[in-house]
Amino acid sequence: MNILILEDEELAAEHLQDLILSLRPAAEIQAALDSVEEAVRFLKPRPTLDLAFFDIQLADGLSFQVFQQAKVPCPVIFTTAYDQYTLQAFKVNSIDYLLKPIDRDELAQALGQYEELRSSFNGGPAMARVEQALSMLQHNHKTRFVVKAGHQFLSIKTSSVLYFFSEHKLTWLRHKDGKKHQLDYSLEQLEQLLDPTQFYRINRQHIVQIESVAQTTIYSNARLKLLLSDGEEVVVSRDRVAGFRQWLGE
């Protein structure tokens, strides 16, 4: 079985690959890609594929856009961190999905279903519905992040994140329980994925969640100092003060 993985979170991609190979040792992972652009480039020569796993929301767009730019020659199982309401759209559109972090038993069930249906696959009805699904999801933002904690993979709701920050060239999130977790995204990528009504980038190192801002005080050089709900103090860059005040509703 020749398999393509499209997933922009490195940990999630590794987890999925390990699970697939544990369930189907003879499977061959032809590529593990992390963007719409890479997927389109890979698919243009029409490689031989039996099955693909596409994360829905990638740093450079939605994976549905791959279908608009290249022929996908095999069934696709979508992986997603969307909430239950949005998942109903996939059921309506006859698109299989797995909720991240991927559960081994659910993956086994999905692989079994694929093997039962593969003889009848012709790339038709399900692929024809992609544009409808794309329109449903166009304005959604990332609702969960998959992180690694020891030997486990955790699914963290975006709403439970106090802020994102960069430190020593790595990107982290601070959870409301006080713990921090490393992410595979840059802050620039996160700006595109997060709901701008809930998150604002206040400087080069921080993106804060609106409910985490406990106190705002005037600081030197026309800047603002924020006290966040976990006790962290951060400074709003001078060029972002006006936008921050508007975002905060002042």
Task: Reduce the secondary structure of the chain to three states and give it as a string.
Answer: CEEEEECCCHHHHHHHHHHHHHHCCCCEEEEEECCHHHHHHHHCCCCCCCEEEEECEECCEECHHHHHHCCCCCCEEEEECCCHHHHHHHHHCCCCEEECCCCHHHHHHHHHHHHHHHHHCCCCHHHHCHHHHHHHHCCCCCCEEEEEECCEEEEEEHHHEEEEEEECCEEEEEECCCCEEEECCCHHHHHHHCCCCCEEECCCCEEEEHHHEEEEEEECCCEEEEEECCCCEEEECHHHHHHHHHHHCC
Same domain, 36 and 80: yes
Same domain, 23 and 129: yes
What is the structure's pLDDT at 49?
A: 93
Calculate the CA 184 to chain-centre distance. Answer: 10
The CATH number assigned to the domain holding 161 equals 2.40.50.1020
Q: Is residue 147 part of a domain?
A: no
Same domain, 51 and 126: yes
Same domain, 35 and 93: yes
What is the structure's pLDDT at 93?
A: 36
- The per-residue pLDDT string of the chain (250 residues; one tens digit each, 9 = 90 and over) reads 999 999 998 888 999 999 999 999 999 999 999 999 999 999 999 899 999 999 888 888 888 888 888 888 888 888 877 655 455 545 433 456 787 888 899 899 888 888 877 766 655 544 445 555 555 555 567 888 888 887 788 889 999 999 999 998 899 999 999 999 999 889 998 988 888 999 999 999 999 999 999 999 998 878 899 999 999 999 999 999 999 999 988 6
Q: Is residue 146 part of a domain?
A: no
Same domain, 13 and 133: yes
Same domain, 99 and 207: no
Query: Whole-model pTM above 0.95?
Result: no
What is the structure's pLDDT at 94?
A: 42
Q: Is residue 145 part of a domain?
A: no
Q: Is residue 124 part of a domain?
A: yes
Same domain, 75 and 122: yes
Same domain, 162 and 133: no
Same domain, 119 and 12: yes
Domain carrying residue 51: 2-137
